[in-house]
Amino acid sequence: MKDPDSLDSEYYEGLRQHLSADEIAELGIFLSYNAGYHTFFGTLKFYPMYSPDGRLVSQEESERLYGAAPSSLQSMAAE
């Protein structure tokens, strides 16, 4: 979801076909915390703990792999 303004009543109606109101609220809270954590980690220069091939790596090695400014690995996520 790239545009939060697109979350209209039709979107929520679609969610209600699969989730209860409590589950929708829980999902929203989880997503909010997750976004906050990632924002906070970005201020700490926190790097992913896994290499692109899935190996567990140190922060130093991760910095070498991902560069001076860590960025989201979303582009590498499975489709």
Residues 12-59 pLDDT 10s: 999 999 999 999 999 999 989 988 887 887 777 778 888 889 999 998
Q: What is the pTM of this model?
A: 0.55
In a domain, 10, yes or no: no
Structural domain includes residue 11 = no
Domain assignment of residue 48, yes or no: yes
Q: How far apart are CA 45 and CA 63, in angstroms?
A: 9
Q: Determine the pLDDT at residue 36.
A: 87
Which structural domain range is residue 43 located in? 21-76
Torsion over CA of 33, 38, 39 and 45, rounded to 10 degrees? 150
Show the tokens assigned to 40: 């906070």
Give dist(CA 25, CA 12) in Å, integer. 11
Residue 7 lies in a domain: no
